[in-house]
Structure 1
Amino acid sequence: MGDKKDIHVVPHPDGWATKKEGAGRAGVVTDTQQQAINRAREQAKRDHVEVVIHKKDGTIRDSDSYGNDPSSTKDKKH
């Protein structure tokens, strides 16, 4: 599958932006952090990665995982 690339919500000169880990530039730029979080969540659900939310000063506020659906763990018996 390759490395999973989490989606970061980061401050941007024009507001807030979504940025895929390792990407050189921002994905979507929005006016508010909440809009950026919503866009990042949609993308993270599709890509099965986490959303990492940064504060205005760039430090990490929190992260949400959409990669591991708890209901699917019981199917995997290793």
Structure 2
Amino acid sequence: MSRKAIHVVPSADGWAARRPNAQRSSGNASTQAEAMKIARRVLGNDGGGEMRIHRPNGQMRAADTIAPGNDPRKSKG
């Protein structure tokens, strides 16, 4: 079973929350923080998953598990 994911990536108009291999984004925003809020909302409504955040150059910088998804890291902190 594949894990649900949304990538927060730079776009022509600012930032986009986009699923892998999708032709259209789930949402667009002028700032990265706004796109992250969109990604959290979409994943939360979809049952959880991974939010992967990219830098302006496209390189991935962070990942976050959105509840009720399963966090692969067992410890807190």
Task: Sort the TM-score into its range (normalised by shorter chain).
Answer: 0.7 to 0.9
What is the total number of aligned residue pairs between the two structures? 70
1:4 CA drift (Å):
2.8
Larger proportion of strand = 2
Please give the TM-score of this superposition, normalised by the length of structure 1. Answer: 0.77
What value does the CA root-mean-square deviation take over the aligned residues?
Answer: 2.0
From the CA coordinates, give the structure whose radius of gyration is larger.
Answer: 1
Please give the TM-score of this superposition, normalised by the length of structure 2. Answer: 0.78
Larger proportion of helix = 1
Indicate the residue corresponding to 1:31 in structure 2: 30
The answer for unaligned runs of 5 or more in structure 2 is 72-77
Matches within 5 A, 1:30-69: 30-47=29-46, 48-66=48-66, 67-68=69-70
Percent identical: 40
Structure 1 runs (4+) greater than 6 angstroms displaced: none
1:46 CA drift (Å):
2.4
